Amino acid sequence: MTGFSFRNYVDIHYILFLYLLHFGFISITAATLNFLTVAFIVWLIYLSLLFFLGYKHASNKNRPLASSFLCGAFGQLPAIILSSITIAGILSGSYFELTIFNTYDFMLQVWHTSLAPVFTILPSSSMLEIPLYYWVTVSASFFYPLVFFLGAVLGAFSRTKTSPAC
């Protein structure tokens, strides 16, 4: 019986590269926000790279899909934590009463700077007295790891298709 090996499920190099990629696209988006079309294309390139990296992670290595899911989740861990705290504050009703949530709100929006061009196409509506763009920001914390994971699923299918039969 083989034991649980942390190395089989978490690839630290990929997670660090995902952080580097994310910070790079925060910078690129901030630099291109005056050109909305370019900023939107930059966001699409970011999504494509996440998908491609997930594909490469699963197709080149003989790792379980859980490894790709964990890499994607750890790559967005700061946003997932901030979103979870914010959602807990909203659901508890203390979001509007405590000023600490303004700090979490700010940090989450900085983390998701790459979403700024998407906000321009959203309607100006709200849900639970919170603007729609903010809900998109919170949900992006969980959407980006799924993009990475979907690429990994496709990569795993291509790996099994090209590997020789046993």
pLDDT tens sequence across 63-92: 778 888 888 899 999 999 988 888 887 777
Instruction: Report, in angstroms and rounded to the nearest whole number, the Rg of the chain calculated over CA atoms.
Output: 18
Strands 126-127 and 130-131 come out as: antiparallel
| Residue 2 lies inside a defined structural domain of this protein | no
| 156, two tokens | 């795993």
Question: What's this model's pTM, rounded to 2 decimal places?
Answer: 0.82
pLDDT value at residue 1:
43
| Residue 165 lies inside a defined structural domain of this protein | no
| Residue 90 lies inside a defined structural domain of this protein | yes
| Residue 1 lies inside a defined structural domain of this protein | no
| Residue 43 lies inside a defined structural domain of this protein | yes
* CA dist., res. 148 & res. 99, Å (int): 34
Element (H or E) spanning 25, and its range? helix 12-32
For residue range 96-142, what is the model confidence (pLDDT) as tens digits? 666 666 777 788 888 998 888 888 888 888 877 778 888 888 899 99
- How many other CB atoms sit within 10 Å of the CB of residue 130? 15
Task: Please tell me the total count of domains within the chain.
Answer: 1
| Residue 3 lies inside a defined structural domain of this protein | no
Domain that holds residue 74: 8-160
137 residue type, one letter? T
For residue range 9-24, what is the model confidence (pLDDT) as tens digits? 677 888 899 999 999 9
| Residue 131 lies inside a defined structural domain of this protein | yes
Evaluated on CA atoms 46, 9, 58, 154, the torsion sign reads negative
Closest C-alpha to 26, from 137, 97, 108, 111: 111
